[in-house]
């Protein structure tokens, strides 16, 4: 794509701090990193969404290769990955090594998910729900709670 910044990076028209490159994929440092080593992995060919990449398996192999490499070089197994889809409209996967000081959900006020809305969404979005999730759905229908999502501890013991 002509005016896509990541396409320009892939074509070498805009410089980047390359982390990895092969024929089809490229990884480089994010210029506005969340954490040190924040890396973006992109297909060189333009796709809007990660899920549109035809060589998705190959793409993920590359991401794995880089993440495994980060685990070694950062001597830390925690490498967060994020498929966000915002910022630049060219498929990219974020890799965030040692993301300890990252407050992921501090990006904005979380909205409240009402049981009605949750129920509607479950009906609409469910692809192949596990029995637990169906149970949760039924439980949700009969309960009122004000928080966005119950904490993991609250979820414990909820299912028979």
Residue 61 beta carbon to Zn ion: minimum distance, rounded to whole angstroms: 21
CA distance 44 to 100: 30
**Binding positions for Zn ion, 34-73, rule CB under 5 A:** 46
Strands (E), the chain: 18-21, 25-29, 39-43, 79-82, 93-97
| Helical (H) or strand (E) element with 123 | helix 115-125
**Binding positions for Zn ion, 92-151, rule CB under 5 A:** none
CA distance 149 to 7: 39
**Residue tagged active-site, from 92, 132, 135, 137:** 92
CA distance 82 to 44: 19
Which C-beta is closer to Zn ion: that of 4 or that of 74?
Answer: 4
The piece of 51-59, 75-83, 84-92, 98-106 that touches Zn ion (CB under 5 A) is 84-92
Check if 92 is active-site: yes
Residue 90 beta carbon to Zn ion: minimum distance, rounded to whole angstroms: 3
Residue whose tokens read 């210029």 = 31
State which of residues 6, 25, 28, 136 lies at the interface with Zn ion (CB under 5 A): 6
Which C-beta is closer to Zn ion: that of 46 or that of 69?
Answer: 46
State which of residues 4, 19, 56, 82 lies at the interface with Zn ion (CB under 5 A): 4
Counting residues that bind Zn ion (by CB under 5 A) gives: 6
Q: Binding to Zn ion by residue 88, rule CB under 5 A?
A: no
Measured in whole angstroms, the distance separating CA 91 from the mean position of its chain's CA atoms is 11
State which of residues 38, 90, 92, 94 lies at the interface with Zn ion (CB under 5 A): 90
CB-based contacts of 149, cutoff 8 Å, min separation 6: 113
Structure tokens at 69: 């490499």
Binding site for Zn ion (CB under 5 A): 1, 4, 6-7, 46, 90
Active site residues: 92
């Amino acid at each position: 794509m002509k005016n896509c910044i990541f396409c320009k990076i892939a074509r070498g028209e805009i410089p980047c701090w390359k982390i990895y490159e092969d024929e089809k994929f490229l990884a480089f440092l994010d210029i506005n990193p969340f954490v040190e080593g924040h890396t973006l992995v992109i297909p060189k060919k333009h796709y809007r969404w990660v899920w549109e990449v035809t060589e998705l398996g190959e793409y993920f192999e590359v991401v794995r290769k880089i993440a495994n490499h980060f685990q070694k070089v950062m001597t830390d197994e925690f490498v967060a990955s994020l498929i966000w889809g915002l910022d630049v409209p060219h498929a990219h996967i974020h890799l965030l090594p040692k993301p300890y000081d990252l407050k992921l959900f501090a990006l904005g006020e979380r909205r409240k998910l009402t049981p009605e809305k949750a129920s509607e969404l479950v009906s609409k979005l469910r692809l192949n729900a596990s029995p637990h999730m169906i149970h949760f759905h039924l439980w949700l229908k009969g309960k009122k709670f004000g928080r966005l999502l119950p904490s993991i501890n609250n979820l414990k013991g909820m299912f028979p």
